[in-house]
Amino acid sequence: MEEIEVAAETRIVGRTVPRLDAEAKVRGEARYADDLTFPGMLHGKAIRASVPHGRIKRLDLSRVRDQPGVVCVVTPADIPGENVVPVIYRDMPLLAEGIVRYVGEPIALLAAETREAAHRAAELAEVEYEELPAVFDPLEAIGPDAPRVAVPEAAEAGNVFNHMVIRKGDVARGFAEADVIVEGEYRVGYQEHVYIEPQGVIAFLEDGGMAIYGTLQCPFYVQTAVAAVLGLPLSRVRVVQTATGGGFGGKEDVPSQLAAMAAVLAWVARRPVKLVYDREEDIETTSKRHPAVIRYRTGAKRDGTLVAVEVEFYYNAGAYQTLSSAVLWRGLIHAAGPYRIPNVKMDAYSVATNTVPCGAFRGFGSPQVIFAHESQMDELARRLGIDPLELRERNALREGDRTATDQLLTESVGLPEAIRRARELSRWDGLRKEIEEFNRREPFKRRGLGVSTVMYGVGMGAKAPLLDKAGAYVKVEADGSVTVAVGNTEMGQGALTVLAQVAAEALGVRIGDVRLAPVDTSRVPDSGPTVASRTTTVAGAAVLDAARKLRTRIEAAAREFLGTDEVEIADSEVWPQGEPEKAVPLSEVTRWMWAHNWDMGATGWAEGAPVDWDPETGLGKAYFVYAYACHIAEVEVDLLTGETHVRRFWAVHDSGRIVNPALARGQVAGGVAQGIGYALMEYLPSERGRIEGTLMTYRIPTSADMPEELVIDFVEAPYSGGPYGAKGIGEVPLMASHAAVANAISHAVGARLREYPALPERVLSLAKGG
């Protein structure tokens, strides 16, 4: 497909450049946590609960202590600080004390000379429980007679962690005016992150404090958790991100728990401790995408104009809060979709159950409701006899419209253009006729066409505005090379490259002259969490702020050095304005700056634009800007087996100015793959709260599951508050892709898919009218 046109004055931003993180790995500069070894290092292991809800009557660890190779054993009494893993709330203990609330909850820790000895010893723990009634379904957990799971301080009522609402307009009047009303209930299960590298950290004593090396997304979260369990000031805890083999949200909150466990063991043993999960432990005990039950009622006029929506949904949060309140809030804000709807009533609940605590996952609470609201749009289209893409285009948000939270959209709304571009690329009208002809002549196969349109609030939003900030430090060296330090992390998304491009463009240097410093909490500013598709937008703005300050200083030095009134800088060269033939290497100027004691560094700061939101009504400016997408999927269903294959796919995104087209396309392709997995195959069963899955049974997409034709394009609606007009992109492709696939399946079999994943037996039952 055609490359994006780039403005003539832009030389680096908007252009594909090599991935800097990949180059670092090739040179051997990047190391994974499990590859690191320290002298005298021990191996940690958690002893975990085997029942979903119970009172610990007896905990005998004598055989564990006597096991050869075991150096230390830790119980709650041995934790020097607080027995807590602080996330948003402080309800989750590091080690269960008295009561266990889910299968796999840590109750004790041990460290041994080898990983094998640690695993053997953990099996020798003798635990006697008084089993308590347990509940695993969120709808059952909110009943009056349900067992109490939630820690009272972290819940609003009973097992309801949080209840959030939106009340806009008059829903009763809206439905009274509707010509068509569609109702539906939708269900989704767990989704496992399956990052290529399991969770892992190393902890060791350092200068009276603690150092942590680990695979993680949010080093400053980890710093807070380790300081809490050790009773140390933050300045005595140093966290270093090692090369991280994928995250997808799974390494946002969970590393705080691992690091805290390893830190306590290292503190007690007075030796370094490595704690790395094997794949089975990782799947069974770490966070997942929240399972959900979602109920919709949507009303429209005969011409397709949406007039009202009423939504009620329940997210299974698991035994502790972790990030569920934030996940629920994002789900709430996105539950109406990217449409103009004057009357909105929504009730969202996160519910405690005796299951593994759920947490962050790419899309962060929005994919569940997107499955539902895009299914509703297709059902409305069918009932009204309107083309489903046309229905979306008629109702799509535009500049000057108001969202479900009554937020006025004043800029950077590229959804209508994205829909038009998707229609054009897919040759929509001809494609629908082509599919109809195929289905008429094929007795045992059916093809279907599905579309989804989505919006995504970039950044942390009004639920956590204090986190939407970033700091950066940019330093030019005496030889003209540049070092950039930020606290955001690289985990495969290309952040190092994009931030380097922003700095290079602002300074007028070659991209190869820019290096991102390793993320170390003692050496880089807190740039907020690497989540919510915010790195380019917020951290990029901080880098740009610092680079522009430094550029001003370099230009002043260059004027003095060259003896001229004005200078130009590009490609690491500098010359008097209008006289490029007199160019000299920038390194000559920077050496002169160093020799004359000029300040060669600058700090930058950025924060998201002001937001406001009223929790009583759910109204207000929820996010400072939104990204948008329109996806179209073509599937083929085998009517004899129920198997579904995605044949062709079109993805068009508005993420503002695209800083690096190749990396952006990679993000979209990866998100499409992950969305296909969510819709079609990723099934993680549990039995009485016990997760049952390994990579032998949990199927994820491979290259064979990808569409034969994948077309990716961008429409650029620049955001004035982003670096060079950029917005976020990382999470949006997954959010849109799965719903397009689900709608395509429903179109193919002539029946509505209402539960994920669309396993062959489920699709076969739909096709047969079951």
Q: Which residue shows structure tokens 């004598």?
A: 62
23 has pLDDT over 50: no
d(CA 342, CA 397): 12
Please state the separation of Cα 538 from the chain's center in Å: 15
Residue 392 parent element (H or E): helix 388-395
The torsion angles phi and psi of 440, rounded to 5 degrees, stand at: -70, -30
Question: pLDDT band at 1, cuts 50/70/90?
Answer: very low
Mean pLDDT score, 303-308: 98
Summarize pLDDT for 243-296 with one digit per residue, the tens. Answer: 999 999 999 999 999 999 999 999 999 999 999 999 999 999 999 999 999 999
**Angle between helix 415-426 and 428-441 (nearest 10):** 50
C-alpha to C-alpha distances, 164 to 413, 538, 615, 618, nearest whole angstrom? 26, 27, 7, 8
Q: Which of 608, 333, 626, 365 is nearest to 466 (CA)?
A: 608
Contact 713, 425 (CB under 8 A): yes
Closest CA to 182 of 383, 441, 46, 354: 383
Asked if the model's pLDDT at residue 3 lies above 50, the reply is: no
Examine the pLDDT at 24 and tell me if it is beyond 80.
no
Retrieve residue 736's tokens: 């849109």
Residues 6+ apart with CB under 8 A from 77: none
Q: Which candidate, 452, 299, 453, 451, places its Cα nearest to that of 380?
A: 299
239, pLDDT greater than 80? yes
Q: What is the pLDDT of residue 465?
A: 80
Give a three-class secondary structure readout of 164-213: EEEEECCHHHHHHHCCEEEEEEEEECCCCCCCCCCCEEEEEEECCEEEEE
d(Cα 561, Cα 581) in Å, to the nearest integer? 16
Query: What pLDDT digit, counting tens, does each position of 478-499 carry?
Result: 999 999 999 999 988 888 899 9
For residue 35, the model assigns a pLDDT of: 83
- In this predicted model, what pLDDT tens digit does every residue of 649-667 receive, in sequence order? 999 999 999 999 999 999 9
CB-CB contact of 620 with 736 (8 Å): no
Given a cut of 50, whether residue 10 has pLDDT beyond it is no
Question: Which region, left, alpha or beta, applies to residue 424 given φ > 0 means left and ψ of -120 to 50 means alpha?
Answer: alpha
What is the pLDDT at residue 19? 62
Amino acid type, 279: R
Alpha helices in 526-582 (DSSP H): 540-562
In angstroms, the Cα distances linking 366 to 302, 633, 734, 757 are 28, 19, 10, 16
> Residue 104 above 80 pLDDT?
yes
Amino acid identity of residue 277, one-letter, is Y
C-alpha distances in Å from residue 143, one per residue of 59, 100, 158, 521, 567: 33, 21, 9, 45, 72
The residue type of 473 is Y
Q: Are 656 and 718 in contact (CB under 8 A)?
A: yes
Q: With pLDDT > 70 as the criterion, what percentage of the chain qualifies?
A: 96
Residue 26 has pLDDT above 50, yes or no: no
Least confident of 20-24, 65-69, 99-103, 245-249: 20-24
User: Residues, the chain, total?
Assistant: 770
Phi, psi torsion values for 377, nearest 5 degrees: -60, -40
Distance between CA 53 and CA 107 in Å, rounded? 13
Residue with tokens 């085997």: 50
* Banded model confidence at residue 18, pLDDT cuts 50, 70, 90: low
Residue 526 in tokens = 């807190």
Contact assessment for residue 726 and residue 658, using Cβ atoms and an 8 Å cutoff: yes
- Give the DSSP H or E segment for 607: strand 601-607
What band does 640 get if pLDDT is binned at 50, 70 and 90? Answer: very high
Q: Distance between CA 80 and CA 87 in Å, rounded?
A: 19
Q: Which of these, 42, 102, 36, lies nearest to 73 by C-alpha position? A: 42
Amino acid at 247: G
Model confidence over 351-369: pLDDT tens digits?
A: 999 999 999 999 999 999 9
Decide: helix, strand or coil at residue 728: coil
What lies within 8 Å, CB to CB, of 82 at 6+ separation is 90, 228, 229, 231
Contact 500, 537 (CB under 8 A): no
Nearest alpha carbon to residue 173 among 304, 345, 394 = 345
User: At 570, which amino acid appears?
Assistant: A
Q: Which two tokens stand for residue 732?
A: 């949006």
> Which residues, 6+ apart, have CB-to-CB distance to 126 below 8 Å?
58, 59, 60, 61, 63
> What confidence tens digit (pLDDT) does each residue in 170-182 have?
999 999 999 999 9
Decide the pairing of beta strands 42-48 and 514-516. Answer: unpaired
d(CA 623, CA 424): 30
Structure tokens at 657: 């100015």
Please name the amino acid found at residue 21.
D
Please give the pLDDT value at position 527. 83
Q: What is the mean pLDDT of the chain?
A: 94
pLDDT digit string, tens, across residues 384-440: 999 999 999 999 999 999 999 999 999 999 999 999 999 999 999 999 999 999 999
CA proximity to 66, closest of 128, 112, 10, 131: 112
Q: How far is it, in rounded angstroms, from Cα 415 to Cα 717?
A: 9
User: Which element (helix H / strand E) includes 267?
Assistant: helix 254-269
Sheet holding 644-654, edge to edge: 445-457, 626-638, 644-654, 709-714
Indicate the pairing of strand 343-352 with strand 306-318. Answer: parallel
| Predicted structure pTM score | 0.94
Asked if residue 28 has pLDDT above 60, the reply is: no
* All residues at 6 or more sequence positions from 127 whose CB lies less than 8 Å from its CB, including other chains: 47, 49, 50, 56, 58, 59, 60, 107
Omega before 757 within 30 of 0, i.e. cis: yes
Q: Are 680 and 741 contacting, i.e. CB atoms less than 8 angstroms apart?
A: yes
| pLDDT at res. 25 | 43
Helix/strand/coil percent split, the chain, to 5:
35, 25, 40
Residue in 346, 353, 453, 440 with CA at minimum distance from that of residue 397: 453
Tokens encoding 510: 């070659």
- pLDDT score at 770: 60
Q: What is the pLDDT of residue 428?
A: 98
Name residue 48's amino acid.
R
Are 353 and 138 in contact by the 8 Å Cβ rule? The answer is: yes
What value does the CA radius of gyration of the chain take, rounded to a whole number of Å?
A: 27
Predicted local confidence at residue 12, as pLDDT: 67
Q: CA 148 to CA 91: how far, in whole Å?
A: 14
What tens digit of pLDDT does each residue of 615-632 get? Answer: 999 999 999 999 999 999
* Residue 46: φ, ψ to 5°: -95, 140
Spatial CA neighbour of 528 closest among 497, 472, 487, 485: 487
49-73 burial, b at 16+ Cβ within 10 Å, e below that, comes to bebbbbebeebebeebeebebbbbb
